Structure 1
């Protein structure tokens, strides 16, 4: 039998440009872009413009934390089933199906935006909220497929860089989604432009994922359980039998709590603390995303040949100090009666100080989370990998939902919005202290492992015959 050529398998050259990674990466970042553009356009429309309304709710800002919690709520509810589906069925088919569903949902969201300014405008808000919730459902199914597919296609050392690439692409997509969603929705004809961009991006993601190589399922004989109580019990069981993955999963969950709380708090913070308009809220979120992108790049550079977990402790320390400084600088920020726009905010020295602190905090959190993600993928057993990832998604969704709803302590009380950053700093300091204690309690070398590919998954090349099926574009799961 003739061996497949490098051209047909896409398994030569830097892995970023190969079919085993690039199509998945493109589809992932475009999905993150559409998620965040939709969410930001909805939240800005509710908070500042009164452009989007919901029946029976007079104050749009009061519903923002609840609307922000819908996406993680959907992830929490559907992740247990999604993890089973990802383990049972072939990867490429699931990729194609989930991305096509995303395209249909973006068409639904586009229809909602197009209703604005028409007699159907009262229906637009509920349609957009429904679309946001359903995008959470779609993400619940796509995420374990993507995360569990990466160890099938990539070696252990490639996983750290691949996660850094994914996080870098994620934060870039978040940045673009926040900027375009926040800026376009308030323009004349903005809802139409937002609709077109969402539909095109989702279509491009579906077309990109079609180039992903086939990868065999990890557990094709699995019987899917639909009982929610038994599902939760099983998910907890999978994780409890994998002690090495529990701590990084919790760390990632805390990252989602913090990042979601910041995302939801910023529009209220810009409105009440800074006396600024929606462009400032969008600019701050953009700077936060840029900082996280920088953090992902730093993590990739620091972690060459190592797990990078040791750097995560230092990063969380920096994040805690930056959050305290952010609280103090916000309390000292002065403004007159006129609302600031983004240009006016960034023309002030104290505006630049706040912007820099947001970036430092997010960069440190980026350095913190990349090694944890790679550790979970590296340590999880292949036959349960997708379900463990789904358990992680459940935890992430739960913590993100709590993080979103925690902002109600600000919006529903007399607390100043920037007080949220003091609470975040306290949580970050607690995480730092635990990590320092944990690092001292384990033998030297176990906390920050040196990765050795001789003991890990073999690289996916034409020379590693057991990884290649007779079909040119089919990849079997590596034996680890």
Structure 2
């Protein structure tokens, strides 16, 4: 943990020197694509461990469901529908019972060792499951399904809490993207293979050997996972399952942004469960397709989630970009609504095979809707998982993941209840049910953005920086990853702060001239980003003092503060004189200062090149803009004039930017 900045300058300088000398405070250079992680021991063994576990779960569940559907009802004297719903409940019940305890154990123990023990439990369960399949003991298989759910409940908190232990901050989003993609592919393959293998002549024996073999592969892969730091070795595990479940959820609720992310993730699983549960009947009764069409749509949905997850890493520029959450929610609603209109295909007197379905007018639109629901689902869920991982303390991260699993399970149960009530009791058609899901998703998305303005603010910033400009940045890894710092930058346009917000991995608090702070629309962004309005000494001396007090408080908390030392937008495109407020800041809080320069914004609609900014119609679109950071400066060497010289050197405009800026 980074030491809290003390009130003495010497202590702060020691912290800063230690950070820079060891390289601990700065992200590594040479950022790579997420697929590079698949060659790294820090990630690949864990990925294949969880992939094999998800695959095995679904082979087991689907083989059991088919066995129940065709033979078990005669053994147990109950309808297959009752037994299938009982089986689903037995698998999800452990997430309610054991997730809180699992989270405590995961925070207390070394995580790679815990994973190996959980995988050994899986081997034992699958060995007994192979015997149960061979003998056809449905009662034993149902009991084992409960144990499989229990094993998954204990693995869940470790699964997401271990990634931040091994991945760099710029790899967190990519790691989550690969895990989500892998999980959905494993679910798809497990579902398909379980259904095919159980129907082979010696299907029950085949399933038994596969389950044990895959469990052994996962156990072998788990031995390659590097060890982790134990953050809470003295944690006392409480075994009261009910009390700890409520305690875990209550603890998560105290961290508002994290709990809102948990609700957002749980809402996605509600949508996913609702869509996938109704998909077979939707295909059979609405699209008039056979089992091969169901398989196609499941495959397309899984591929869509995989594409969206990887695309999320690309669009977020390797940082936790919450702006993609509203974008994902919007896409889920739009394509969910379109699915309602697209599914009105020409009716057939018999179920259509895959080739005949593809030839039907409108079938490709349905398939596109299914793919895009998956794509936007990936964009929606990956940043939320990354947010939970990065905004929770390491010593309690697994318990936050456990709270997420509990709420996920609750929402999935609600999805089943909603489907049963609306479709089974109220008589709502499946297309109308899908429309209601899309409308409800719109309402939930708006509610979350109202409840947590940061989501809407980040979406607005992301949209602006990815539509108005061709924006790139360099050397932002020079900003300390932890601890306090002050960023100083030239001030060219009203978009400066938004561009910096969109580029920096860490949250940044801006010191904004009060008239700009109160501008329409920008005021919403600045308030959501907790910007600090500042006034001049002449107009509001008390407001000036309050601003410096707020800056000091932010730095004492270890936050990053950005100021524009010129105090106003440039009127002629040149770099103005830096005011000495920066010297006053570092005298009170000796923290590293990072110079930065924005290039290519002079002459844009939001600059003063043609008179007052925003006074005429825009003349430039898709402008090439760049943000570059310099090396951190020791606070003892900070002067206003010296900082101006450093920013001026960074501000050397390359020919392309200079040519575009002169238009």
**TM-score, with length taken from structure 1:** 0.82
Give the whole-Å Cα distance in 1 for the aligned partners of 2:459 and 2:329.
19
What is the CA distance between 1:252 and its match in structure 2? Answer: 0.6
User: Which segment is superposed worse, 266-275 or 95-104?
Assistant: 266-275
What is the CA distance between 1:315 and its match in structure 2? Answer: 1.6
Q: What corresponds to 2:133 in structure 1?
A: 113
Deviations 1:39-88 (A, max 9, x none): 233345555xx254362322x24554453343232212110100011011
Is residue 41 of structure 2 the alignment partner of residue 19 of structure 1?
yes
Aligned residue among 192, 202, 225 for 1:179: 192
Deviations 1:238-275 (A, max 9, x none): 21332231111111111111112222222232343344
Is residue 349 of structure 2 the alignment partner of residue 337 of structure 1?
yes
Give the SS at the match of 1:418: helix
Mapping for residues 296-307 of structure 1, pairs under 5 Å: 296-307=309-320
Aligned residue among 371, 376, 398 for 1:386: 398
Does the C-alpha gap of structure 1 residues 182 and 430 become closer, same or farther in structure 2, counting only changes over 3 Å?
Answer: farther
Aligned residue among 40, 46, 55 for 2:76: 55
Give the SS at the match of 1:407: helix
Aligned residue among 71, 74, 79 for 2:94: 74
What is the CA distance between 1:454 and its match in structure 2? Answer: 4.6
Q: What corresponds to 2:365 in structure 1?
A: 353
Q: What corresponds to 1:97 in structure 2?
A: 117
What is the CA distance between 1:184 and its match in structure 2? Answer: 3.3
Q: What corresponds to 1:235 in structure 2?
A: 248
Q: What corresponds to 1:156 in structure 2?
A: 169
Does the C-alpha gap of structure 1 residues 355 and 443 become closer, same or farther in structure 2, counting only changes over 3 Å?
Answer: closer
Give the whole-Å Cα distance in 2 for the aligned partners of 1:270 and 1:161.
34
Give the whole-Å Cα distance in 2 for the aligned partners of 1:156 and 1:38.
36
Deviations 1:369-427 (A, max 9, x none): 00000000000011111111111111111112222333322245533333331222122
Give the SS at the match of 2:214: helix
Is residue 65 of structure 2 the alignment partner of residue 39 of structure 1?
no
Give the whole-Å Cα distance in 2 for the aligned partners of 1:444 and 1:334.
44
Aligned residue among 379, 382, 396 for 1:370: 382
Is residue 430 of structure 2 the alignment partner of residue 408 of structure 1?
no
Asked if structure 2 preserves the Cα contact closer than 8 Å seen for 1:24 and 1:208, the reply is: yes
Higher relative contact order (CA 8 A, sep 6+): 1
Q: What corresponds to 1:320 in structure 2?
A: 333
For the pair shown, which has the larger CA radius of gyration, 1 or 2? 2
User: Which segment is superposed worse, 225-234 or 448-457?
Assistant: 448-457
Give the whole-Å Cα distance in 2 for the aligned partners of 1:157 and 1:441.
20
Does the C-alpha gap of structure 1 residues 151 and 371 become closer, same or farther in structure 2, counting only changes over 3 Å?
Answer: same
Does the C-alpha gap of structure 1 residues 361 and 245 become closer, same or farther in structure 2, counting only changes over 3 Å?
Answer: same
Structure 1 unmatched runs, 5+ = 1-12, 116-120, 459-479
Give the whole-Å Cα distance in 1 for the aligned partners of 2:478 and 2:270.
33
Asked if structure 1 preserves the Cα contact closer than 8 Å seen for 2:261 and 2:385, the reply is: yes
Q: What corresponds to 1:456 in structure 2?
A: 481
User: Which segment is superposed worse, 443-452 or 91-100?
Assistant: 443-452
What is the CA distance between 1:447 and its match in structure 2? Answer: 8.7
Does the C-alpha gap of structure 1 residues 64 and 267 become closer, same or farther in structure 2, counting only changes over 3 Å?
Answer: farther
Q: What corresponds to 1:281 in structure 2?
A: 294
Does the C-alpha gap of structure 1 residues 442 and 133 become closer, same or farther in structure 2, counting only changes over 3 Å?
Answer: closer
Greater helix content: 1
Does the C-alpha gap of structure 1 residues 334 and 56 become closer, same or farther in structure 2, counting only changes over 3 Å?
Answer: farther
Asked if structure 2 preserves the Cα contact closer than 8 Å seen for 1:326 and 1:354, the reply is: yes
Q: CA RMSD in A?
A: 2.9
Structure 2 unmatched runs, 5+ = 1-31, 463-472, 484-558, 560-663
Give the whole-Å Cα distance in 2 for the aligned partners of 1:448 and 1:16.
31
**TM-score, with length taken from structure 2:** 0.61
Does the C-alpha gap of structure 1 residues 103 and 308 become closer, same or farther in structure 2, counting only changes over 3 Å?
Answer: same
Asked if structure 2 preserves the Cα contact closer than 8 Å seen for 1:308 and 1:448, the reply is: no
Asked if structure 2 preserves the Cα contact closer than 8 Å seen for 1:327 and 1:418, the reply is: yes
Asked if structure 2 preserves the Cα contact closer than 8 Å seen for 1:239 and 1:391, the reply is: yes
Does the C-alpha gap of structure 1 residues 422 and 81 become closer, same or farther in structure 2, counting only changes over 3 Å?
Answer: same
Give the whole-Å Cα distance in 1 for the aligned partners of 2:81 and 2:146.
18
Greater strand content: 2
Aligned residue among 220, 223, 232 for 2:236: 223
Asked if structure 1 preserves the Cα contact closer than 8 Å seen for 2:270 and 2:414, the reply is: yes
Is residue 276 of structure 2 the alignment partner of residue 263 of structure 1?
yes
Does the C-alpha gap of structure 1 residues 229 and 186 become closer, same or farther in structure 2, counting only changes over 3 Å?
Answer: closer
Asked if structure 2 preserves the Cα contact closer than 8 Å seen for 1:178 and 1:282, the reply is: no
Give the whole-Å Cα distance in 1 for the aligned partners of 2:285 and 2:81.
11
Q: What corresponds to 1:192 in structure 2?
A: 205
